[in-house]
Amino acid sequence: MTDKNTVIIIGAGLAGLFTALKLAPLNVKVISSKSLGSGTSSQWAQAGIAAAVGQNDSANLHKHDTISVGAGIVDEYAAGIMVEAGPNRINDLINLGVPFDKGSNNKLLLKKEAAHGINRIVSVNGDMTGKAIMKTLSETVKKSNHIDVIENFNAVELLKDQDGIFGVVIQSNLDNKKEQRLYSRNIIIATGGIGQLYEVTTNAIEAKGDGIAIAARIGADLSDLEFVQFHPTAFNIGIDPAPLATEALRGDGAKIINELNERFLLKTHQQAELAPRDIVSRAIFNEIKNGHKVYLDCRGELGKSMKKTFPTVYGFCKDNNINPENQAIPIAPAAHYHMGGISTDANGKTSINGLWACGESASTGVHGANRLASNSLLEAIVFGSIIAKNIKSLPNNTPVKNSEATTSKVVPINSKDLKILKSIMTRKVGVERNGEELDEAFNEILTLNQKYKKNNQINNTIITALLIIKSAIKRKEHRGSHYRSDFPETNSLLNNRSKITIKDII
């Protein structure tokens, strides 16, 4: 059993590990689905972290760009906190040993990304940022006496009494599915995103939105679940997670074609391949829905120089026997980032006493309806740090009475049902949605749920999917990443973040 002041963190990505380090000297138990350093989306992050560290930059400029992209519903207070704290958190990572790229003047090298008004992205080895950060943090965690990592376990249920949260049920991911209970009055959810609810995703296999379901099941508020950001050009070659074909390739002349060699985007937007991300994603989505195959065509000079100019993408091609010089790359839009999650205030607190959330599983409101590139790693470290500070300032916890709350049998989704769920989510709750198909999707996944219910089983993946669909049903407009073909205009009366609880789906 954990002692009364041990803090439990569910998830070992950037949000979980950074928060664990910041909690020193408190004892921390980190639950990790896989072995430390694997099973995270953080390790795949490429471009870097946005922070106002440049000479001509400021927190205000960064905040302005964040708000502009968020389609009218960014929580400006939370965004202000994030951008203000950015430079200090980058310093923390530098002090931990993250080797950010430097320019010839020995200052941080700052890159520019879409919708940033200024160069403000810090990175490692160009596109190896996530890997480098996770390596540094994992090594530091291993050496930290206050942190105990429980590997290959999934949190499946939270325990709550009249004083708030008091524990978590964890289940072994290995064959025996052994269960354990851990007790604490402070539990932080950092389980990452939901990309694995879709057929093509850039997210880690573990990103099934478990945190959302377990928090929802004890009554936590959730926000903005309808906002799922899709990346238009991921490799569609059956690899999970799907590698990204960076947007810069299109900037350098790559064309998007179908199997008939047609540049169908010419019919959609005057900028064709260089149209905004959501327009490109929707055009590809519809082409695939209409039975076509879609490719990124880099054949010729671009493909020839790719080894030098885009080594990561070239590496993916090579590993998968694609020669970009004379073969087009099969692509599809991929579920990439979830703006929604467990509602938190600017202190990282959820609506349940003692339950905190940070990283992609949280919804702080900083991203609104669309995320500004490279703000997600920043959000993870800023709010992780704030949570640690808050927990450390709390008086000693009220003892856990070791109450034996009843728990139901939580089971993982089986592979056949997951395939069905992914297909429904992709076709009906994906890049483009409409009321009729959303209702169908809800009912189809509800039917899937009946099978588990009949056996007295609970499935967290299904619950998260139902909550996302219900949120998408409720928002009858186009806003940011949420496109309703039956309500294609933005409605100024709906200029608010959304809220949902488990009661909305039962």
154 lies in the binding site for ligand FAD (CB under 6 A): yes
| Dist CA 160 CA 241 (whole Å) | 34
| From candidates 2, 6, 32, 229, binder to ligand FAD by CB under 6 A | 32
40 lies in the binding site for ligand FAD (CB under 6 A): yes
Q: Looking at 29-37, 219-227, 253-261, 466-474, which segment touches ligand FAD (CB under 6 A)?
A: 29-37
| From candidates 6, 8, 9, 16, binder to ligand FAD by CB under 6 A | 16
Spatial contact of 457 and 38, defined as CB atoms under 8 Å apart: no
| Contact residues for 103 (Cβ-Cβ < 8 A; gap 6+) | 109
Strand partners, 85: none
C-beta closer to ligand FAD: residue 50 or 505: 50
C-beta closer to ligand FAD: residue 144 or 434: 144
| Dist CA 90 CA 100 (whole Å) | 9
Nearest to 339 by CA among 375, 388, 381: 375
C-beta closer to ligand FAD: residue 200 or 244: 244
235 lies in the binding site for ligand FAD (CB under 6 A): no
- Among 185, 217, 277, 299, the active-site one is 277
Q: 415 phi and psi, to 5 degrees?
A: -65, -30
Q: Kindly report the number of other CB atoms within 10 A of residue 395's CB atom.
A: 5
CA 43 centroid distance within chain? 12
Tell the smallest beta-carbon distance from residue 135 to ligand FAD (Å): 13
| From candidates 2, 6, 19, 33, binder to ligand FAD by CB under 6 A | 33
Residues in contact with ligand FAD, shown as a per-residue x/- string from 71 to 110 under the rule CB under 6 A? ----------------------------------------
Tell the smallest beta-carbon distance from residue 14 to ligand FAD (Å): 4
CA 53 centroid distance within chain? 24
Expressed in angstroms, the distance from the first to the final Cα of the chain is: 33
C-beta closer to ligand FAD: residue 124 or 472: 124
130 lies in the binding site for ligand FAD (CB under 6 A): yes
| From candidates 9, 12, 78, 197, binder to ligand FAD by CB under 6 A | 12
Nearest to 374 by CA among 48, 41, 44: 48
| Dist CA 183 CA 246 (whole Å) | 43
| From candidates 136, 138, 184, 203, binder to ligand FAD by CB under 6 A | 203
DSSP string, 107-137: SBP-B--TT-SS--EE-STTT-HHHHHHHHH
245 lies in the binding site for ligand FAD (CB under 6 A): no
Known catalytic membership, residue 484: no
155 lies in the binding site for ligand FAD (CB under 6 A): yes
| From candidates 167, 192, 340, 430, binder to ligand FAD by CB under 6 A | 192
C-beta closer to ligand FAD: residue 40 or 498: 40
Q: 452 phi and psi, to 5 degrees?
A: -70, -45
Q: Kindly report the number of other CB atoms within 10 A of residue 401's CB atom.
A: 10
CA quadruple 204, 366, 186, 15: dihedral sign:
positive
Tell the smallest beta-carbon distance from residue 197 to ligand FAD (Å): 13
| Dist CA 383 CA 244 (whole Å) | 27
- The set of catalytic residues is 277
Residues that bind ligand FAD (CB under 6 A): 10-16, 31-34, 39-42, 44-49, 129-130, 154-155, 190-192, 202-204, 206-207, 210, 244, 337, 359-361, 374-377, 380
